[in-house]
Chain A
């Protein structure tokens, strides 16, 4: 791509992105925050899948995300391949207050690695960070993690209680898993908007320029050409999360 051209129209290319994850972790809310900068409390569950687009401006180019926001319920699982096939990026979302949702996210990551197009950029996203106690979320993983683990064992402390930490998935656990699998990793809050744009920007940056062929139909045809780049790509990608992650 012609990075050198400072002319007004930046090269633009479209990126197919799919959101996966357990029901009610906040996939649609993340998308709505990203696309409309809006948030709805108690959003009703997505049925099937929703297709949205949003542009993301990078210094050198414009990325047009074509987003598949899928429904998380078990009965829609069989349709997922339709959406992640040919996708260049995937956002696998879990809920930091619900450990089972991380397990489900790990299943999705495994499935993507097995069946999606090789070279797909995967971001692991822990949503609902606003529900975590302030010091737990923001002041970075290491010190607070031991504290986080304790209440997870106690378990029953109520989410409703003011100031109580509803976090059940320590940042460290998820981060370690993400590093192991070479995933981008973020903790976000669709409600407050924290880190949401960052996720998409990081994904946009992580997409190798060679796989951006123009506004349409990037995925399938380029698979063969990209096979070789895959290894490099993974290596290059690990830089992304460390810069972008606020944790």
Chain B
């Protein structure tokens, strides 16, 4: 009977009402949350606090180290300019250890063979060089200018040895296309990564091949209840994963029995990371080079997606009633959202890696106009209002006391732009959802309307199908705690769109969307950089140039994200985190740099010198500073 459905639902409904009051009656909860979050952000780095970010540290002046660098296109390269500012360096013992560790890591992770890092090779015989370097560089007051000069001098053309030159030419040919050594096995595996797995035939004849197919996936996510019931698996149906679920469950409960929490382990070339959250166990199995912390943050996102569907109290109630509760029933229909998240991680998501958001680049005055229009048309029950263009934030309106959690926004963006359900349906949507970062105990209601940029006032009837036309979708999201607020927010949307059109903002947004991300050379003319990520720590936002043409392909982009992931892990590995990290491979040279203000990751072809890379990195930082109010939303519209 429908009556039973009612009985089931009345619990959550009552809860919801209570929560809605909570949100507004007691905003302090959220205030403290956001307060502590910002504190943790600003407290990350301790070393460099000056306004101007420091340039790169000098490399030790030792020829054996330099010789190990493979890049040899110097014969044609122009003389490099010197670095202008003085060095304050963060090279230290931790760095050297880091490099040693890397070399071990490298030899271990043979599964998807990656370009070897030459620091790793060289580290054994030059460790004393590193030592002296770190001793020297510990004192920032030391006049490093002279050092710099001579180092640059060493790198001048004509110093390379002929054999390396030959190697360099070989590399250079393919370098025109790729920054990474070719790895057909990986390409192959990556292409098949998102294919569905065949069903096992009734007679079980193809069981072996299906199992093989399942095993060949680079990445798996498993979610099970603490009683060992399967809840979600990215690949394979129940029948296929039963064994794995059982095994994982046994391992987890074995350690729980010993009051020791299993966090992760390695089997073969796969890394397993386990996260136990209340009644759920989440497991990530990856053959991509991702750190435990990164995999854990991915599991966190999946967990948040589950909370977003159910809310924490109602999930806990389900399991409190019966530990063996089958959570797949209430989660029915959200598998696509979980899988869209999971595939995003497998493809490589800068947003998740950096836990930050990307914004649409707009002139400050233009954004101001959009912000003001949002504020002017704001309806009574509005909590958050967002304008989003192809996954990039255009503008936000929010109450002064509540900021938006990047994790929550990631869930929303995933739902709207990755999973096709909302987008493909046409019309306007009214979606109950819990934003766990905001408040994991209750539901909010989100009004969603996609705009046709050419006829923005008309309701878009037919939207481009999932992935093709994702370039020029603009969505208006209006979030309210009022369950019945649909028509109120719909009126606001109509008013908002007509005003935006009147004051020309629609055209401005459309233009910015069509323009897309800049290329590296737009950011810094003549820059050797192929790609970079810049995260503003204070704004919890990031910006990057376009992936194309160098990283257009899925596998290529994945390799770039692998590289970023490695660099990111190095900056964030506790307790041995560093503030600057530099990596050289046969085909690429990369740099990661953290200050209290920002994190920067950039990569250039292997033929680029360290000095040029450093200079390019500095230029990017300067560019972002100049464009800060365009590439980032500072503050947003607050009421």
Contact = CB atoms under 8 A, between A and B. Distances in A.
A110 B336 CA distance: 31
Contact of A23 (B1, B333, B426, B462): B333
Nearest to A71: B333
B459 A47 contact: no
A186 interface: no
Contact of A75 (B1, B9, B486): B9
Contacts of B490: 51
A24 to B, nearest CB: 8
Contact of B333 (A36, A45, A110): A45
B504 interface: no
Which of B309, B337, B445, B486 neighbours the largest number of chain A CB atoms within 10 Å of its CB? B486
A107 B333 contact: no
Contacts of A47: 333-334, 337, 415, 421-422, 429, 431, 433
A32 B419 CA distance: 18
Given A45-B336, A73-B333, A78-B10, A108 B2 contact: yes
A48 B427 contact: no
Nearest to B14: A78
Nearest to A107: B2
Given A23-B332, A36-B462, A110-B1, A46 B6 contact: no
Interface string B424-462: 111111111100000000000110000000000001011
Interface string A87-109: 00000000000000000000110
B424 A35 contact: no
Contact of A50 (B309, B334, B419, B426): B426
A49 B1 CA distance: 22
A38 B419 CA distance: 19
A67 B484 CA distance: 16
A74 interface: yes
Is the contact region of chain A dominated by helix, strand, or loop, or is it mixed?
mixed
A75 B9 CA distance: 7
Nearest to B487: A51
A107 B1 contact: yes
A35 to B, nearest CB: 6
Is the contact region of chain B dominated by helix, strand, or loop, or is it mixed?
mixed
A108 to B, nearest CB: 6
B428 A51 contact: yes
Interface in A48-104: 48-53, 67, 69, 71, 73-79, 82
Interface string B369-387: 0000000000000000000
A75 B16 CA distance: 13
B461 A35 contact: yes
B336 A49 contact: no
A99 B427 CA distance: 30
A28 interface: yes
Nearest to A52: B427
Contacts of B192: none
A35 B430 CA distance: 18
A48 B428 CA distance: 11
10 contacts: A28-B425, A40-B424, A44-B424, A45-B333, A46-B421, A47-B415, A50-B425, A51-B429, A52-B428, A53-B427
Interface of B: 1-2, 5-6, 8-10, 12-13, 309-310, 329-330, 332-334, 336-337, 415, 419-422, 424-433, 445-446, 459, 461-462, 465, 483-484, 486, 490
10 shortest interchain CB distances as A-B pairs: A78-B9, A52-B427, A48-B431, A45-B333, A44-B421, A111-B2, A107-B2, A77-B5, A51-B428, A73-B333
